[in-house]
Amino acid sequence: MPPTAETDHQMPAEIAEQPLLLRFLSLLAVLGCIALASSIFIADFVVPDHDWIADTISDLGAGRYEFIVDIGLYAFSAALIGLALSVAHVHLGGWDWSVGIIALVVFGLLVFLIGARNEYGDNDSDGWVIHIYLVYGLGVMMTVACFAMARGAARASPRYHNILIGIGIVWVVSAPVFFFLPTDIDGIYERYLGAVSFALVLSLAHLFYQRAKR
């Protein structure tokens, strides 16, 4: 029997995944990674007296040309937030997947704040300097996102589970090392950690793009 005006409001809304939305957000995630990588590459050449092996990405975000890396950070932040929308739109079940959504949102906000605060360890002592705490939070959210979404990702394909677990292990082992490195090589190591975070973003983007195609 077709629904009447009296019963229509009692019927649950139809839930359906939106392939165009997933494709757009997946492409946004990829473009965010490209934008950040490109901004760092450009700044490496534009910023005078910059040593990309010894100087960190944060050093590129301080001074006259700070806007170059800031644009890349904002784009990467948008990529993470967009990815979180994909994860929420295609909820693969479990409390841990929900935790992963929150981790990606916070991850994206932390990246945005790192760019917006313009505190890059350049002896800035004006106000409350929180850069190091933002970096700590970023490391934690990256870890949580990898492990929290691994079980749900397995429902799409076991390989995504293995990839996320692998990225998480590499991150947990690698990230703390950064704080103990001599300053003459921490720049190149920070870029390596950035590549690991890209691996997470691109893996999830691939998952949702392939799901949209099906």
Orientation angle between helical segments 186-213 and 131-148, nearest 10 degrees: 40
Which pLDDT band holds residue 131 (cuts at 50, 70, 90)? confident
Q: Is the pLDDT of residue 172 over 90?
A: yes
CATH classification of 18-213 is 1.20.1070, yes or no? yes
What pLDDT score was predicted for residue 10? Answer: 55
From the number of C-beta atoms within 10 Å of its C-beta (0-12, 13-18, 19+), residue 158 rates as exposed
Phi and psi for 129 in degrees, rounded to 5?
-85, 115
Chain centre to alpha carbon of residue 42:
21
pLDDT tens for 177-201 read 998 988 888 889 999 999 999 999 9
Residues 61, 120: contact at Cβ < 8 Å?
yes
Task: Tell me the pLDDT band of 3, cut-offs 50, 70 and 90.
Answer: low
Q: What pLDDT shows up at residue 20?
A: 92
Q: Is the model's pLDDT at 69 over the cut of 80?
A: yes
Mean pLDDT (whole number) for 152-158:
94
The pLDDT value recorded for residue 11 is 46
For the chain, give every domain's residue range.
18-213
C-alpha pair distances (Å), 144 with each of 3, 110, 118, 188: 45, 14, 26, 24
Angle between helix 131-148 and 95-117 (nearest 10): 160
Given a cut of 90, whether residue 61 has pLDDT beyond it is: no
Q: Which residue has the higher pLDDT, 198 or 124?
A: 198
